[in-house]
Amino acid sequence: MTPGDPLAVPYREREASPDLNRLDTPVAGTEVEGDEFFTINMGPHHPATHGVLRLLVTLEGEMVRDVKPIVGYVHTGIEKSCEDQAYWKVIPFVERMDYLAYYFNMMAYCMTVEKLLDEPVPPKAQYLRVAHLELNRIASHLFWLATAALDVGAVTFLWWGCRDRDYVLDLFEMSSGQRLHTRYFQVGGVAEDIPPGWVEKAREFIEYFPGRLDQYEALLDRNEIFVQRMRGTGVVPVERLQELGVTGPLLRAAGDPWDLRKAMPYSSYDHFDFKIPVGTVGDNYDRYRVRIQEMRESLKIVEQCLDGMPEGPWITDNRKVALPPRDELATSMEALIHHFKLVTEGFRVPPGEAYVPIESPRGELGCFVVSDGSSKPARVHVRDPSFVNLQAFPDMARDGLVADLIASVAMLDPILGGIDR
């Protein structure tokens, strides 16, 4: 089934196997003088590619004529590993896909399993999930801001972005004990109620952070170099983005207000009042503005979450799915049996297939789970937004300068852990 026997070709020739013929032919509609094309590799190890992304770039002078993204360098077979774990042990695996938006991976996976189990999630758990998701969105966008500004020359942003992200990570540490990859969401709810003091600390952050955002905007928006590198670069028509299935801030920056939180609300998102920022032109500047504004909207959601936090349990009381409370183990025989069953075998999920999409910081993050009735999933597939959005990258970079290509990668915000899984 493999076309030809690849092992018959010597290694050094196979290394050059990406088909260059298509790249060497002139792009239709461009004037070519003397066929002066130059094909170079950018990456896989390049500081501005946000991970191990390899770009095969065809240059004519300083103009980019074609780009081919080559991925797979951090493919670790997470989806394959998931098939060997009990349902609740898959959560830490999927978290490590898109490693900046780990709550979103957990959320998509947990919601899919809950759908297969027909397991309702208590209102308090839904609110806690939303609060953490939106804080994670801020953390993810802050890290994007830090690295993207670094790419276009604003070096100190790396420290500023990470400094504010640390406030969010402190909150994660308080609620779950971990700063990254928290495993906080469980099937049926969340692992633990938020501790005393969490709400106050979150409110401190809500109060503190808009001022910082104003500073960042002032620093970047009034920076002649930054604005010149952002305005009018990397424009892709909105129709083309829709064709390519691009979602998230990239699509919204082009003026298409598609956001699953509004369009198909899940986990009580319809209880909150927030706006969807959209751009007008769809250039890199709009992408930057949309993400900055999204952080403000996320703050609004977190605040409403804290104000309206319902009372009640934070995880389902279905003992077949969720662990019994610790204190019951010493007194209740049944709790002990359930605990033993869950920890050794895990719960069984009735056969079926489900696909649940949510809105991650990068677009539609969908999780597809096939269950064969056992306690391990038969297939876990994640539709990662970075993976799909990367297809739009050649369109963004084509017929621009090399410097604009760097700016476009920064504004594309690809997470290679999510692309390669």
Residues near another protein (CB under 8 A) are 1-3, 6-7, 9-12, 14, 17, 19, 71-72, 75, 77, 79-81, 83-84, 115-116, 118, 242-246, 258, 263-264, 352-355, 357, 364, 366, 368, 370, 372, 378-379, 381, 383, 387-388, 390-391, 420-421
**What is the nearest approach in angstroms of another protein to the Cβ of residue 386?**
11
Q: Would you give the DSSP letter of residue 367?
A: E
Exposure string of 230-262, with b = 16+ CB inside 10 Å and e = fewer, is beebbbbebeebeebebbbbbbbbbebebbbbe
Nearest CB to another protein, comparing residues 10 and 34? 10
Residues 6+ apart with CB under 8 A from 168: 135, 136, 138, 139, 142, 205
Of 377, 308, 408, 397, the C-alpha closest to 86 is 377
- Three-class secondary structure assignment of 167-208: HHHHHHHHHHCCCCCCCCEECCEECCCCCCCHHHHHHHHHHH
First vs last C-alpha separation in the chain: 24
Taking the CA of residue 222 as centre, how many other CA atoms within 13 Å lie in the half-sphere pointing to its CB?
6
| Contact between 316 and 322 (Cβ < 8 Å) | yes
Nearer to another protein, 140 or 371 (CB): 371
Q: Residue 31, SS3?
A: coil
Q: How far is the CB of 115 from another protein (least distance, A)?
A: 5
Three-state DSSP class for residue 55: strand
Measured from the CB atom, is 339 or 421 closer to another protein? Answer: 421
- The C-alpha atoms of residue 174 and residue 171 are separated, in whole angstroms, by 5
**Cβ distance to another protein smaller for residue 71 or 91:** 71
Nearer to another protein, 219 or 354 (CB): 354
* Rounded-to-integer distance, Cα 387 and Cα 246, Å: 10
- Looking at beta carbons only, is 141 or 362 nearer to another protein? 362
Q: Whose Cβ is closer to another protein: residue 98's or residue 420's?
A: 420
Minimum Å gap between C-beta 72 and another protein is: 4
Q: Which is nearer to another protein, 150 or 278 (CB)?
A: 278
DSSP 8-state class, residue 84 = T
Q: To the nearest whole angstrom, how small is the minimum distance from the Cβ of residue 373 to another protein? A: 12
* Pair 354, 380: CB distance under 8 Å: no
Q: At its nearest, how many Å lie between another protein and the CB of residue 213?
A: 30
